[in-house]
């Protein structure tokens, strides 16, 4: 009985191997690629404020919130990140950092001008994105799959064959950054020291490159 069982298992394995070879022999493997450019509609900034004592730091924080509010930034779009006390510094002893979010309606150049204050230590871009980026990713991936099918159709059509059912679909990760910097920052560090910032630069949304999405889908189709 044990020998019979082993023979049946062996026959089953041989059958699977034959089937696998037949699939490989009668299939075509292609890769579809699709790209899309998406306009950013949101910027997240990191900002640091400084002071010589706690009371002064509280005043600076109040001024920060007032300045952001005057530029259309809502309180719920401002997040506290960290606070630091330097006991050994002879000048600035307290620093506090926040992140805040602006949209395409925000006058970023005016915001920079209003934040060009002595109590602001630094300002940098944390992230640039589109709020509907997940939906756009889906569209690009679907287009990549359609491109793969189209490629299989014309390749097989050239030898009088047709594309059958999809046997395998594999998403290939394309590591494209969704976070980009304005063109004005290209030759600078991401961190902008406001007191030394070039006032002639345009930091508006119009000066930000589009977010580039690119995805590839590898597929295998039956040949009819």
Alpha helical stretches, state H, the chain: 2-25, 54-70, 108-114, 133-157
Average pLDDT in the 74-100 region? 87
Homologous superfamily, domain 42-130+186-207: Ribosomal protein S6/Translation elongation factor EF1B (3.30.70.60)
pLDDT tens-digit series, residues 117-157: 999 999 988 888 899 999 999 999 999 999 999 999 999 99
pLDDT in tens, 25-40: 699 999 999 999 999 9
Block residue for tokens 């300002």: 123
Kindly write down the DSSP assignment for every residue of 139-201, as one continuous string. HHHHHHHHHHHHHHHHHHHTTT--EEEEEEEEEEP----S----GGGTTS-SEE-GGG--TTS
Strand partners, 218: 31, 170
Nearest CA among 111, 114, 116, 122 for reference residue 50: 122
Measured CA to CA, the distance from residue 121 to residue 97 in angstroms comes to 9
Nearest to 72 by CA among 40, 43, 39: 43
Query: Which pLDDT value is given to residue 215?
Result: 92
- Domain extents in the chain: 42-130+186-207
Percentage of the chain with pLDDT > 90?
Answer: 53
């Amino acid at each position: 009985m044990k020998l019979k069982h082993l023979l049946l298992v062996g026959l089953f394995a041989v059958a699977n191997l034959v089937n696998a070879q037949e699939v490989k022999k009668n299939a075509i493997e292609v890769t579809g690629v699709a790209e899309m450019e998406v306009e950013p509609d949101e910027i997240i900034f990191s900002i640091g404020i400084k002071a010589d004592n706690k009371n002064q730091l509280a005043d600076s924080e109040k001024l920060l919130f007032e300045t952001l509010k005057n530029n259309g930034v809502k309180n719920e779009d401002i997040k506290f990140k960290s606070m630091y006390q330097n006991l050994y510094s002879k000048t600035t002893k307290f620093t506090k950092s926040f992140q805040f979010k602006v949209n395409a309606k925000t006058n970023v150049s005016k915001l920079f001008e209003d934040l060009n204050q002595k109590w602001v230590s630094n300002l940098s871009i944390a992230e640039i994105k589109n709020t509907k980026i997940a939906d756009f990713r889906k569209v690009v991936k679907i287009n990549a799959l359609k491109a793969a099918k189209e490629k299989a159709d014309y390749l097989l059509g050239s030898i009088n064959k047709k594309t059958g059912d999809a046997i395998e679909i594999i998403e290939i990760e394309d590591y494209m950054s969704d976070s980009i910097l304005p063109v004005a920052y290209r030759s600078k560090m991401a961190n902008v020291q406001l007191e030394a910032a070039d006032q002639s630069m345009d930091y508006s949304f119009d000066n930000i490159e589009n977010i580039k999405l690119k995805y590839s889908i590898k597929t295998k189709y039956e040949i009819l």
